[in-house]
Every structure is written in structure tokens, then in C-alpha cells.
Structure 1
Amino acid sequence: MGNANLNISIVDKRMLKQSEAADYTGLPIKHFKTTCPVQPVEMRPGTTLWDKRDLDLWIDAMKEGAEVATHDAILGKL
């Protein structure tokens, strides 16, 4: 029997589709749509993706009990 080698490369995506972002946060997509304050990035017309780093910041802020510092929230405090 011959030896078989598998060369598997896994790329950890930074930008996620809405369903992937919901899975990443552990929320059902319906709940994700209504509660997630993270704004998606329009990578090209008609393609919006969520940045994992922004999702992490939101989750970390929730754990700390802090308000997420969104662009509008920062401007509102000025």
C-alpha cells in the first residue's frame, strides 16, 4: 500500500457573510440582524461583509458592560 500525503491549507477568513457572522457570534441570524450594532463593510457593490475584529470588539464591550464606541456614538458625545 502506498503512502498518501495530504497538503491541506486552511485560511482563516477575516470578513464574514451575514450568516457566518451570526454563527461566529453564536446568535441565530434573526437575532443577529436585530441586535448586532456592527456595521458591515461594502467590499464591492452588493457585497457586504462583517469584520471579525469589529465583532470581537462588540462582544468584548458587552462582556465589560461598556457601550460599543461606534462612529455615531463618538460623534454624539462631542
Structure 2
Amino acid sequence: MTTTNLNISVIDKRMMKQSEAASYSGLPVKHFKAACPVRPVELKKGTLLWDRKDIDLWIDGVKSGAMTETRDDILGRL
């Protein structure tokens, strides 16, 4: 019986499309759009991407209670 080694390299994406960022945060896209204060980055013209590190900071802020938003803040993102 022979053995085979399989070398797999996985690279975590730092920049994500909106649907990926929503999934990463555990929210449906429509809730992510309304709740997430992280601004996307346009690395390529016409392509908006969200930075995983910024999303992590946002989630950490929510967990610590540091994120306080007014009604105007939320409406401003809609």
C-alpha cells in the first residue's frame, strides 16, 4: 500500500465582496448594509471591497459596547 502526501496552502482573503463580508459577519446582506459602518474600498474601479480587519474592529467595538450610534448615523448609511 502506498502513501501520498498532499500539500495544500490556504490563503485567507483580506478584502471581501459585500456578500462575503456579510457572511463573514454572520448577517444577511440587507442587515449588513444597514448595520455595518465600515466603508468599502475601491481597489479596482467599480469594485467595492470590505477589509476583514475593519470588520473585525467593528465587531470588537460592538462586543465591548464602544459602538453607540444615533438614529441619524443609521439613517445616514441607508
> What TM-score bracket applies, with the shorter chain setting the length?
0.7 to 0.9
Q: Which residue of 1 aligns with 2:47?
A: 47
1:58 aligned onto 2:63: no
CA distance in 2, matches of 1:3, 1:57: 44
**Displacement of 1:33:** 1.1
Q: Calculate percent identity across the aligned residue pairs.
A: 65
**How much is the aligned-residue C-alpha RMSD, in angstroms?**
1.7
Q: Which structure 1 segments of 5+ residues have no match?
A: 69-78
Moved over 4 A (4+): none
Give unmatched runs, 5+ long, in structure 2: 69-78
Offset of residue 51 of structure 1: 0.5
The alignment partner of 2:9 has SS state of coil
DSSP-derived class of the 2:43 partner: strand
Offset from partner CA, 1:4-47 (integer Å, 9 cap, x none): 22121100111111111001100011110111110000011011
2:67 maps to which residue?
67
Aligned match of 1:19 = 19
Code of the residue aligned with 2:67 in structure 1: it is: E
